[in-house]
Structure 1
Amino acid sequence: MAIFARKSLPPWLVILLSMVSGVLAGLLLGQQAQWLKPLGDLFVALIRMMVMPVIFVSLVCAVTALNDLSRMRRIAVKTLLIYALTMMLSAILSMVLAETFAIGKGLHYAHQSVVQDMAMDWSSLMPTNPVQAMAQGQVLPVMLFSLLFGLAINLCGEAARPVTHFFDALNQVIFRLISMLLRLAPLGVFALMAWVTANNGLGMLSQLASLVGTLYLSCLLVLTVVYGGLLRLAGLNPLPFMNKMLPVQLFAFSTCSSNAALPMTLDTANRLGVRQTISAFVLPLGSTINMNGLATYLGAVAIFAANAAGVELSLLQKLMVVLTTTLGAMGAAGVPGTGLVVMSLVLSSVGLPLEVIAIVAAVDRIIDMINTSTNISGDALAAVLVAKSEGEFDDARYAEVSRA
């Protein structure tokens, strides 16, 4: 594995090489590959260790980051509602497609724990002891406490400014720790891929291909049907939007970075008829908390993991996936390792095996490309819809034929 650790190789290529090596090792070693599984289990345990700290700190930071929105309360509320709506629709769409194509069912993934029973007493959502809830891995109560805690910080105003700075710094520390742990990802992926291949043969590769295909189809439907439908509801023809956004989408596809694409997105929003007073607020916020592509990703992976583990999620569990996907993506977006960390949050919320993360990590880069294009398009969509509703929109500019 040392050859894969060279700094000249990008992280996604290291993971891909680890996956290929793991597959070959699984085919060559057969059942002897089970001796590698503890290495993979160690990686999964380290990821699991970070779930609760990430939930608490990242959601608190997400709420405190909205403290300056009071002066633009109406615009802020519209923007957040659009972001939440599109992320939920994206997650639901990918889950429906994943169930339709039955992705993951070709895997025979033995898992020791049982999927959590979600027939809960709703009064238990507010933990009487938040620390105990964290220790017991109760995801939804911890998320609710985190949101209320962040709101309380905002309501305290300047008096709580040191607390805000503390959580911002703590958030950076936690994600630096995660980046350190993710250095073990190639070893974890190698070990688990070897073990899964030994148990499933090359059928595992076809299942990963079906996951990637489902996600690309989901994102394309989000870009056309969901975004196009919302534009139609606003009385706009989707074609100018699709045409002018294409160069930005291609740039985001190649860079896998919403932040890197932000200057281009801002310029394109201007050519879409959005006044700068709206785009300068909506788009930077979107690059931080709006992750429609990630929501699509996590929804499909939840179904993939459930099928691989041989369990059927109830309607309430599926709603939990949508909720944790939306809140998790808003709370931890734009940070290295976000996809894998939020994935652990979503899977943990319904008791699905986290070992699937190491398997999916092998194709994470391929998926992240289409995810980023979907993300930045969702940001621009929100800017158009908010500007249209606020009367700060140039219809003629929007309809102009793009020369880009």
Structure 2
Amino acid sequence: MSSAPLHANAPAGKRPLYKSLYVQVLTAVVIGVLLGHFYPQTGEAMKPLGDGFIKLIKMIIAPIIFCTVVVGIAGMEDMKKVGKTGGLALLYFEIMSTLALIVGLIMVNVIQPGSGMNVDASTLDTKSISAYTGPGKMTGTVDFILNVIPSTVVDAFAKGEILQVLLFAVMFGFALHKFGGRGTMVFDFIEKISHVLFDIVGIIMKVAPIGAFGAMAFTIGKYGIGSLFSLGKLMGTFYGTCLIFVFLVLGIVARLHGFSIWKFVKYIKEELLIVLGTSSSESVLPRMMEKMENLGAKKSVVGLVIPTGYSFNLDGTSIYLTMAAVFIAQATNTPLTLSQELTLLAVLLLTSKGAAGVTGSGFIVLAATLSAVGHVPVAGLALILGIDRFMSEARALTNLVGNGVATIVVAKWTGDLDNQRLQAGLNNETWVEANEPEAVLDQKTATLGGAGSTGR
């Protein structure tokens, strides 16, 4: 089949700037910051707008993952590729998560943002962090694995547990392939449902600026811009480290696999702005799946890598964990030997995998890790609780870019990446591709259907 019809057929006319989702969300974020700063009480009252938008997205995530994975797996000719894709994805996740932990550890030791604060840990108010350090907040490895298995299929969808839905979808896809796969009535039905769901995402994205406005107004209104300056050195170090990781570490990975990280970041700029406004990378999961498929990655790879990455490939969270732990030690004058820092790193290699699917995930994992290691005072968490909401934005942005890069890399490794479409998408993205990726998917489906293709 032809590799580039999607770009050729998309409307080429220039659209007014105000119709661009990027401009709409950016404007909404700026207005939210101003409202939260000058009218904090009104800003706090905007919280339902952000919460409502995220709930709309979460409503659609589970069925989209199910349909995408089932269609991707059941439509494959070689079932062995599914296992190969999953194995390579987990290998990549482990390597990049470890690198992120190490980068965070190196940067916090070089810059030492907590040095000179001389905080007495015994004087800190620990009531504010009790909700994060209570028993049962962080489960062990065995519990985490068992939690991947849903009590019932309905329960997995009702609670929106991504890994549980993914497990059921993989099993369903294998079973459907056994009974004929592509061309069966069940396959065609699920494929049509998939396109309907992505069109629903397009409708929901129309209110993304409202959601970003509400979430940002609440954040600034509740925590205030002033809280950013009180721990400015830590904030600056963390944001700077995330930028270094994205453009240097991920940049090298991208270059080795034939694409530019700068062009990729530009390609997902709309999604990055939505994440910046909502502080949740989950808010753009459906759109990221659309965009990765539009870049030439096969549906089966996108369906496996993106959802799994939300638990196992959290680069931004990994940087935060090592950096925050050592910062607390520096601020409270708690000496850490090299062996103790390596122990901390080893523990985080395990605990960081539970940093998704839990409320206040990054902070909870950090609290559990400090308790397990014992070298760093857990009371020191009170120092960073006030700015954790602002740091979560950098975590989410880095996680999003990391998972996008992971999808392209794994697709390249498995031979499931259309390089011509990748370069066309990154170099000549159309207005429709940027703002309505679901329309491009619909067009691709119509093209494949008309050609009688048995490809993806």
The superposition leaves residues 325-373 of structure 1 with CA deviations (integer Å, 9 ceiling, x where unpaired) of: 3332322313221122111022223321122222211111211111111
Partner of residue 45, structure 2? 8
Q: Go from structure 1 to structure 2 and tell me whether the alpha carbon gap of 1:73 and 1:240 turns closer, same or farther (over 3 Å shift).
A: same
The superposition leaves residues 205-256 of structure 1 with CA deviations (integer Å, 9 ceiling, x where unpaired) of: 8661111101100111111111111122334343432321222222211111
Correspondence for 2:386 among 332, 341, 362: 362
Other structure's SS at 2:296 match: coil
Count how many residue pairs are aligned between Structure 1 and Structure 2.
Answer: 286
Greater Cα offset, 220-229 or 264-273: 264-273
Tell me, yes or no, if the aligned pair for 2:104 and 2:322 is still in contact at 8 Å: yes
Q: What is the distance in 2 between the residues matched to 1:161 and 1:271?
A: 31
Other structure's SS at 2:387 match: helix
Unaligned runs of 5+ in 2: 1-39, 49-72, 74-78, 123-134, 162-221, 435-456
Q: What is the distance in 2 between the residues matched to 1:110 and 1:169?
A: 45
Partner of residue 115, structure 2? 105
Partner of residue 91, structure 1? 101
Q: Which amino acid aligns with 1:245?
A: I
Partner of residue 268, structure 1? 291
Q: What is the distance in 1 between the residues matched to 2:158 and 2:351?
A: 19
Correspondence for 1:326 among 330, 349, 364: 349
The answer on 1:250 being equivalent to 2:273 is yes
Partner of residue 131, structure 1? none
Correspondence for 1:77 among 54, 71, 87: 87
Correspondence for 1:388 among 412, 419, 429: 412
Q: What is the distance in 2 between the residues matched to 1:166 and 1:90?
A: 34
Q: What is the distance in 2 between the residues matched to 1:380 and 1:283?
A: 7
Q: Which amino acid aligns with 2:45?
A: S
Q: What is the distance in 2 between the residues matched to 1:240 and 1:379?
A: 16
The answer on 1:214 being equivalent to 2:214 is no
Q: What is the distance in 2 between the residues matched to 1:273 and 1:237?
A: 15
Q: Which amino acid aligns with 1:96?
A: I
Tell me, yes or no, if the aligned pair for 1:332 and 1:342 is still in contact at 8 Å: yes
The answer on 1:302 being equivalent to 2:325 is yes
Q: What is the distance in 2 between the residues matched to 1:388 and 1:238?
A: 15
Q: Go from structure 1 to structure 2 and tell me whether the alpha carbon gap of 1:168 and 1:304 turns closer, same or farther (over 3 Å shift).
A: farther
Unaligned runs of 5+ in 1: 12-67, 113-135, 155-159, 173-189, 191-201
Tell me, yes or no, if the aligned pair for 1:91 and 1:295 is still in contact at 8 Å: yes
Q: What is the distance in 2 between the residues matched to 1:161 and 1:368?
A: 28
Partner of residue 403, structure 2? 379
Q: Which amino acid aligns with 1:238?
A: I
The answer on 1:344 being equivalent to 2:381 is no
Q: Which amino acid aligns with 2:88?
A: K
Q: What is the distance in 2 between the residues matched to 1:164 and 1:268?
A: 28
Q: Go from structure 1 to structure 2 and tell me whether the alpha carbon gap of 1:152 and 1:363 turns closer, same or farther (over 3 Å shift).
A: closer
Tell me, yes or no, if the aligned pair for 1:83 and 1:290 is still in contact at 8 Å: yes
Q: Go from structure 1 to structure 2 and tell me whether the alpha carbon gap of 1:90 and 1:266 turns closer, same or farther (over 3 Å shift).
A: same
The superposition leaves residues 141-184 of structure 1 with CA deviations (integer Å, 9 ceiling, x where unpaired) of: x95xx34x766999xxxxx97699999999x9xxxxxxxxxxxx
Tell me, yes or no, if the aligned pair for 2:228 and 2:387 is still in contact at 8 Å: no
The superposition leaves residues 179-201 of structure 1 with CA deviations (integer Å, 9 ceiling, x where unpaired) of: xxxxxxxxxxx9xxxxxxxxxxx
Q: What is the distance in 2 between the residues matched to 1:153 and 1:287?
A: 15
Q: Go from structure 1 to structure 2 and tell me whether the alpha carbon gap of 1:280 and 1:321 turns closer, same or farther (over 3 Å shift).
A: same
State the 1:89 CA deviation: 1.4
Tell me, yes or no, if the aligned pair for 2:292 and 2:407 is still in contact at 8 Å: yes
Q: What is the alpha-carbon root mean square deviation over aligned residues?
A: 4.0
Other structure's SS at 1:263 match: helix
Tell me, yes or no, if the aligned pair for 1:94 and 1:300 is still in contact at 8 Å: yes
Tell me, yes or no, if the aligned pair for 1:320 and 1:349 is still in contact at 8 Å: no
Tell me, yes or no, if the aligned pair for 2:355 and 2:361 is still in contact at 8 Å: yes
Partner of residue 209, structure 2? none
Q: What is the distance in 2 between the residues matched to 1:86 and 1:282?
A: 14
Q: What is the distance in 2 between the residues matched to 1:319 and 1:165?
A: 42
Other structure's SS at 1:319 match: helix
TM-score for both structures, normalised by structure 2: 0.54
Tell me, yes or no, if the aligned pair for 2:121 and 2:380 is still in contact at 8 Å: no
